[in-house]
Amino acid sequence: MTTQTRPATAWLPKLVVAPSFALSLFFIYGLMVWNGYLSLTPSRLLPTYEWAGWAQYQALWENERFHVAMRNLGVFGSLFIFGAMALGILLAVLLDQKIRGEGVLRTIYLYPMAISFIVTGTAWKWILNPGLGLEHLMHQWGFESFRFDWLVDPDRAIYCVVIAGVWQSAGFVMALFLAALRGIDDAIIKAAQVDGASLPTIYLRIILPSLRPVFFSTLMVVSHMAIKSFDLVMALTGGGPGYATDLPATFMYTHAFTRGQIGLGAASAMVMLITVAAIVVPYLYSELRSKR
């Protein structure tokens, strides 16, 4: 009887997984291929399949708005990644001291990650609005000279997006590093203290360097969030003032779905895909190589 059931146990799990695998293969990688082909066509309001070569990519790199979006991605990405990682690690280290009320503080710090970027963007839009937010509140308290009009300043509006993004994502980084810190043997800390090392030195020289896998995994996730940021920008600034806070994702949406330039939007989407791949693929390769 066991010999008759062995073939079923061999192919049954594959049969169960096959439909979801096929759908994922089609709707993820199949549509990526389709989008890549559209970026090589002169598609505008509706997809067309005439070959246009690299014309859309040439138009993309000649588009000043796309250059602004890429510059904003550099500013937002670097500050967002650094701010979320630094603040998250700091919070994790502080909570690792097993302070009183740790559960409440951990919930408060992690709560922003439980809400969507749309809610975050809307809330910070109210907070940073000069007419009804922080600046208005300070004026009511008597600080008439206080100014915080970054949200309507084309040169500083992108930093408002950074503030909102760091506020939401720092708790996520904190949770990952706190879980990793709780896996560190207390004997390591006690041995270092016996040798006369201070607590900051222990964390900087011993504990945090040992968390390199967690660091790189978190860096990959946060970098991915920065590159594909869309809803936060749309809710907070709408890409404005003008297009001062445009990111590649908002640029792609604007041109593909509101301006009827599907080919140009597809080209910008492929640039985003290549950017993500440039970060993720080397990391995956190094992980697989280390396991071998």
Is the pLDDT confidence value at 5 over 80?
no
Kindly indicate the confidence band of residue 7, based on its pLDDT and cuts at 50, 70 and 90. Answer: low
User: Please, are residues 51 and 41 in contact by the beta-carbon 8 Å criterion?
Assistant: yes
pLDDT at residue 158 greater than cutoff 90: yes
Supply the pLDDT for residue 6: 56
CATH topology of domain 64-291: MetI-like fold (1.10.3720)
**What is the reported pLDDT for 292?**
65
Tell me what the mean pLDDT of segment 104-113 comes to.
87
**292 vs 122, residue with greater confidence:** 122
pLDDT > 90? residue 28: no
User: What pLDDT is stored for residue 199 in this prediction?
Assistant: 83
247 DSSP 8-state letter: -
Contacts 24+ apart (CB under 8 A), 211-220: 211/177, 211/180, 211/181, 214/176, 214/177, 214/180, 215/85, 216/283, 217/176, 218/85, 218/88, 218/173, 218/176, 218/177, 219/81, 219/85, 220/279, 220/280, 220/283
What percent of the chain is modeled with pLDDT above 70? 96
* 192-232: pLDDT as tens digits: 888 888 888 888 888 888 888 888 889 888 998 998 899 99
Q: What is the 3-state secondary structure (H, E, C) of 18-82?
A: HHHHHHHHHHHHHHHHHHHHHCCCCCCCCCCCCCCCCHHHHHHHCCHHHHHHHHHHHHHHHHHHH
Per domain, the residue ranges of the chain are: 64-291
Return the pLDDT at 275.
Answer: 87
pLDDT band at 1 (very low <50, low <70, confident <90, very high): very low
State pLDDT tens for residues 247-270: 999 999 988 888 889 999 999 999
Mean pLDDT of the chain: 88
Exposure of 100 in the CB half-sphere (CA atoms within 13 A): 0
Region 84-104 average pLDDT: 88
